[in-house]
A and B are shown apart, each in its own frame.
Chain A
Amino acid sequence: MAQTSRTLSRREFFKASGLLAAGALGGPALLGGLRTAQAATETMTPAWDSRFGVCDMCFNKCGLIARVENGVVTKLDPNPKFVKSRGMLCARGNAGISHVYDPDRLKHPLLRKGGRGEGKWQRIPWDEALDMAAQKMDEVREKYLPCGHLFTAGTDMQSLFVERLAEAYGSFNLTSHESLCLVSGSRAFLDTFGEVPFADVLHSKYVIMVGANRFEALVTPDSMDLMTAMREHGCKLVTLDPRYTKTAALSDEWYPIRPGTDMAFMLALAHVIVGEGLYDPQWIEEKTYGMEQLREHVKPYTPGFAAEQCGIPAEDIARIARELAAAAPASMVYPGRRSSDYEDSTQIRRSFAIVNGLLGNWDRPGGLLGARAVGLKGVPYDAPWYDDNHDDRIDAGKVPMMFEHEGSFMVTRDSILADDPYPIRGWFVYKTNPMATAPNRAKTIEMMHKMDFVTVVDIAMSDTAWYADLVLPSQSYLERIDPCSGLQGSSACACVVKRDPVIEPLYESRPLFDIVKGIAGRLDLGEYFDFTIEQFREKQLADLPGADGIMDRDGVYYNPSKVYGIYDGLVYKTLSQKVELYNQRYEQMGIDPLPVYTPPVQPPANQFRLVVGRNALVTQGSTTNNTLLHEFVPTNTLWLNPGPAGKLGIADGDLVEVSSAVGRQAIRAEVTDKIREDTVYMLTGFNTLSTQQRLAHGNGASIAEILDGGYDTVTGNAALHLTFVTVTRKVA
């Protein structure tokens, strides 16, 4: 208690937030509901209403409280009862105001009048817009069968209605953002443990962070909990990254690993752990499958071998393996959630999963946890069947283990360009921007030109919208009612959130739900949308009596479900019903059942490997036009090591041309020793084609224009570290 009289140190701040979290978990009586808090302030002349919301500035969905004055949101605060974010709201969350009140927001339906990407638009009324969207979708279906139309939805609480529209319409071709994101990692962990885990970093004693940047690429509660674990519990963090990221800066040890060699490092860890017997034999015997095959497999992958590949000293690799094993089971190789980097990214991530398997950390404090029970029910519907249709997705069978529910954007794009095996000529896109997120923008533009008609529903004129035929303005997360969403918060919580309007919708914007309902009605598919979102939520919450009222009171509902030992007495959801160190299905399918290391191709002389990465103030192309965030990150730069910069005659701040086999862009060089000599880096989301992103258009470089378009051969996930570039000083 003495701490209250002193300045709050960082340590104490985290301790305090932990207490707050504990209070929220303890129940409403301790802290009181929002109404009570408001009542207490009423004596102090309340000048505003406080309303719960759920952030949408990235995928995390953090709880917030909007301050509303005269119908206008004037401030966004964290919801202190939202344990998943430890009662915090990040800078992007705070900047949500500029997202909602962005003067560049789409204001009314727009119909393309000039050529694609020419930027000539005509304002049309909603009825006309919905008539046209439906009519064009009908024409595509008539000419090319239902599968001749592609549907793409980003991460959003209403995206499930795009899936429903696609299924009612009869198209199997639905892609999510995930195949431009994290499916190879999901694949690897699912195929090892039988489900995709959540990392209990809060209780971990030793974390190896590879291919992840958790203090900049924020994931709740991991970003906060890892800091707490380090500062409060003495957790050791070892980071491998070709860049000196903020995570690297805060780590106990940082190794600027040679890009593409992570698997060699992991197999060497396994070599030491297995070879020196640094595992729990009972756990391995009872819970895992394939230890003997693994033992043989990792023999050649000595720390010395890995050292040559990774550029990390062999003695450090061996020591890290021993330290990691000594801290087990409260230790882990952090699973991460980044996009694929290489064509063997599933296998690279499998090597991460296998080391975790050896640590015996599954379902235990400080290890990897299975999904907790949230209690939300699915809302099934009886989709129609069309005999006159193609047999399968356009991307089916082209990679062996694509996630059926997510698809592969990269494989779909190639297939559409080749009409292989059939033509797709219509595209409906909601709140995702593959033009800016998928590698090789020129190919995405080509895909656009293949289409008879493209409808994009978004809040802003993204580059994808810029190439569409019809652009429909949707609502921000503060203007609409959304279905409930269940969130996994590792050991912090399993919770349910919902969105209700905080302010009246701006301009002529409409929610996606109303738009698909309008289109479906015009296509005689109205029966699939014959409900309101309130009714939909009632069905979702059928097994959680009282949860709706708790969400009204606290902004969130917590299911006090089991955290650890979920698998006690249960089998793993794998073929062997154990943790598959050796994957049986891979063997049956002709995929390496244990990850085999192949050294990455090195950049040719005078070229660099272009790597992607995150900044805590940027959510790709969805925030680069945000006026508040723009003040912090006004442009992107090319990180270039001083060594090669000197040889190329490039000084800090010089304008350079970065060119790859597929594109070129001009950008300012940031000459810094925070990056390896053979690697360059830039942020995503800049230099939009759309002129209606005034802060991002003509500003910096578009990484999507330069990145080449490979993908992970197991899942079809976009592989983003395959591109070599030349960098030359641009003479003005």
Chain B
Amino acid sequence: MHRKFMILTAAALVLGMSVSMAFALGGGNGRKGKFLYSKNCRSCHNGGTAADLSPADRTQAEWQATFSDMGKIKCSGDWTLSDEDINDIYTYLYDYAKDSPSPAKCS
């Protein structure tokens, strides 16, 4: 039910915005996203090179805004991820955002 809602809101967002994205956000595999996040992102986002990031650092709306214009994510130029992988990572961050039904715990 939750996932359906997410697809709807993500779809609404996509429709309402300038089409700068090649794919629709949301409805990905959040579990795989967690794995992909730690594999690809945590090497920098560990409080050293870049800020330590947890899904619960932002609201769902903030994650949506961030990923709706990925050009503004500083490191996105270095990503070698497929669209599907990026969507999985987004889904992980969105599903466990600080205002989500299951906010990520600190670890």
Q: Is B20 an interface residue (CB 8 A)?
A: no
- Contact assessment for A401 and B106 in the assembled complex, using a CB-CB cutoff below 8 Å: no
Digitize A364-379: 1 where CB-to-B-CB distance is under 8 Å, 0 elsewhere.
Answer: 0000000000001111
Digitize B70-107: 1 where CB-to-A-CB distance is under 8 Å, 0 elsewhere.
Answer: 00000000000000000000000001101101110111
Q: Which residues of B contact A575 (CB under 8 A)?
A: 60, 99
- Contact assessment for A378 and B105 in the assembled complex, using a CB-CB cutoff below 8 Å: yes
Q: Which residues of A contact B39 (CB under 8 A)?
A: 382
Q: Which residues of B contact A381 (CB under 8 A)?
A: 38
- Contact assessment for A397 and B99 in the assembled complex, using a CB-CB cutoff below 8 Å: no
Q: Is A313 an interface residue (CB 8 A)?
A: no
Selecting from A1-9, A583-591, A683-691, the interface stretch reads A583-591
User: Within the assembled complex, what's the spacing in Å between the Cα atoms of A679 and B79?
Assistant: 63
Q: Which residues of A contact B2 (CB under 8 A)?
A: 400-401, 589
Closest beta carbon of chain B to A182's beta carbon, Å: 15
Q: Is A418 an interface residue (CB 8 A)?
A: no
User: Within the assembled complex, what's the spacing in Å between the Cα atoms of A18 and B42?
Assistant: 45
Question: Given A405-B105, A573-B59, A382–B1 Cβ distance below 8 Å?
Answer: no
Q: Is A403 an interface residue (CB 8 A)?
A: yes
Q: Looking at chain B's contact residues, is the secondary structure mostly helix, strand, loop, or mixed?
A: loop
Q: Which of B34, B42, B107 contacts A160 (CB 8 A)?
A: B107
Q: Which of B36, B96, B106 contacts A378 (CB 8 A)?
A: B106
Q: Is A380 an interface residue (CB 8 A)?
A: yes
Bin chain A's interface residue count: 20 to 34
- Contact assessment for B1 and A589 in the assembled complex, using a CB-CB cutoff below 8 Å: yes
Q: Which residues of B contact A382 (CB under 8 A)?
A: 35, 38-39, 42
User: Within the assembled complex, what's the spacing in Å between the Cα atoms of A194 and B2?
Assistant: 18
Q: Is A485 an interface residue (CB 8 A)?
A: no
- Contact assessment for A384 and B35 in the assembled complex, using a CB-CB cutoff below 8 Å: yes
Q: Is A385 an interface residue (CB 8 A)?
A: yes
Q: Which residues of B contact A574 (CB under 8 A)?
A: 99
Q: Is A383 an interface residue (CB 8 A)?
A: yes
Q: Which residue of A lies closest to B60 (CB)?
A: A575
User: Within the assembled complex, what's the spacing in Å between the Cα atoms of A380 and B42?
Assistant: 9
Q: Is A513 an interface residue (CB 8 A)?
A: no
Q: Which chain B residues numbered 22 to 66 have a C-beta less than 8 Å away from chain A?
A: 29, 31-32, 34-36, 38-39, 42, 46, 59-60
Q: Which residues of B contact A589 (CB under 8 A)?
A: 1-2, 5
- How many residues belonging to B are interface residues under a CB distance threshold of 8 Å? 25
Q: Is A352 an interface residue (CB 8 A)?
A: no
User: Within the assembled complex, what's the spacing in Å between the Cα atoms of A585 and B103?
Assistant: 14
User: Within the assembled complex, what's the spacing in Å between the Cα atoms of A126 and B93?
Assistant: 41
Q: Which residue of A lies closest to B8 (CB)?
A: A588
Q: Which residue of B lies closest to A575 (CB)?
A: B99
User: Within the assembled complex, what's the spacing in Å between the Cα atoms of A194 and B42?
Assistant: 27
- Contact assessment for A383 and B35 in the assembled complex, using a CB-CB cutoff below 8 Å: yes
User: Within the assembled complex, what's the spacing in Å between the Cα atoms of A167 and B5?
Assistant: 27
Closest beta carbon of chain B to A372's beta carbon, Å: 13
Q: Which of A190, A380, A397, A590 contacts B38 (CB 8 A)?
A: A380
User: Within the assembled complex, what's the spacing in Å between the Cα atoms of A670 and B1?
Assistant: 47
- Contact assessment for B98 and A405 in the assembled complex, using a CB-CB cutoff below 8 Å: no
Q: Which residues of A contact B32 (CB under 8 A)?
A: 385
Q: Which residues of A contact B38 (CB under 8 A)?
A: 380-383
Q: Which residues of B contact A504 (CB under 8 A)?
A: none
A-B contact pairs, 5 of them (CB 8 A): A172-B31, A382-B39, A392-B31, A400-B1, A573-B59
Given contacts A400-B2, A405-B105, A573-B98, could you give 20 more A-B pairs where the C-beta distance is less than 8 Å?
A: A172-B31, A190-B103, A191-B101, A194-B98, A194-B99, A378-B105, A379-B107, A382-B35, A382-B39, A383-B34, A383-B38, A385-B32, A401-B2, A401-B101, A403-B101, A403-B102, A577-B99, A588-B5, A589-B5, A590-B1
CB-based closest 4 A-B pairs? A378-B107, A404-B102, A385-B35, A378-B106
